[in-house]
Amino acid sequence: MILRIDHIAIAVRDYPRARAFFDALFNTVPGAAATVDSTKYHWQLLSVGDLSRLELLSPTGEGSFLDGFLKNKEGGVHHITVQTRDIREARQRLDELSIPYFGYNEYPGGVWNELFIHPKDAFGVLIQIAEFRSEDWLNPALGLKDGKKWQVAKTEQGANFTVAHPGGATFTLELDKAEIKNLMNELSTMI
């Protein structure tokens, strides 16, 4: 049902200060962002390293849905988002397990479908289960170009083998010359 933990969302009162902090600490790469007028908040995805992501949430005015959460604090972990291949299958699984959920939404065009499990039903953690394509939300510079699945770059010791990850972005393996030979041998037996 679940492919991966996609990101951790952190709600903050002071977005510029929080953004500067996480940018400096983690050397983040900004992804998708938006301001939602109906619930008075701004969100920004930030990629950290190869495959990790944070989402900063901040109120944009009085009456924000974040007001209660931030009432007595400057910020904190708001929710964890996990990615699913199929939101309807996830919903069915929750029903089978008698786990209550709320906020079921299938947005037009299928760009984002979601539901939430309340913290009272999930040991104090708000869980968002969402169906989406990772590449729709990440900075394109983090992926490989032209739909490639891998790329190889020669190094002094061997090569860096970079692979596109289905969760978005890439990961890189540093291979020495012996590891390259072993990989080539293993691959040649599959042809």
pLDDT value at 26 more than 90: yes
**Predicted local distance difference test score (pLDDT) of residue 169:** 82
Q: What is the pLDDT of residue 147?
A: 83
Mean pLDDT of 93-117: 94
pLDDT over 80 at 98, yes or no: yes
Closest CA to 82 of 74, 92, 90, 72: 90
Residue 191 has pLDDT above 90, yes or no: no
Residues 1 and 84 sit within 8 Å (Cβ to Cβ): yes
pLDDT in tens, 156-179: 999 999 998 877 788 899 999 999
Indicate the pTM of the whole model.
0.85
Residue 106 has pLDDT above 80, yes or no: yes
Report the C-alpha gap between 180 and 158 in whole angstroms.
7
The pLDDT assigned to 8 comes to 97
Which residue ranges make up each domain of the chain?
Answer: 2-136, 143-188
> Within 10 A of 80 (CB to CB), how many other CB atoms are there?
17
First to last CA, the chain: 33
Q: Per residue in 148-158, pLDDT tens?
A: 999 999 999 99
Q: What is the pLDDT of residue 188?
A: 94
Q: Give the tens place of pLDDT for each residue, 46-68.
A: 999 878 899 999 999 999 999 99
Position 114 pLDDT exceeds 90: yes
Q: Which of 25-34, 91-100, 111-120, 136-145 has the lowest mean pLDDT?
A: 136-145
Per CATH, which fold does 2-136 belong to?
A: 2,3-Dihydroxybiphenyl 1,2-Dioxygenase; domain 1 (3.10.180)
- Counting runs of H as helices and runs of E as strands, what totals does the chain give? 3, 11
Mean of all residue pLDDT scores within the chain? 94
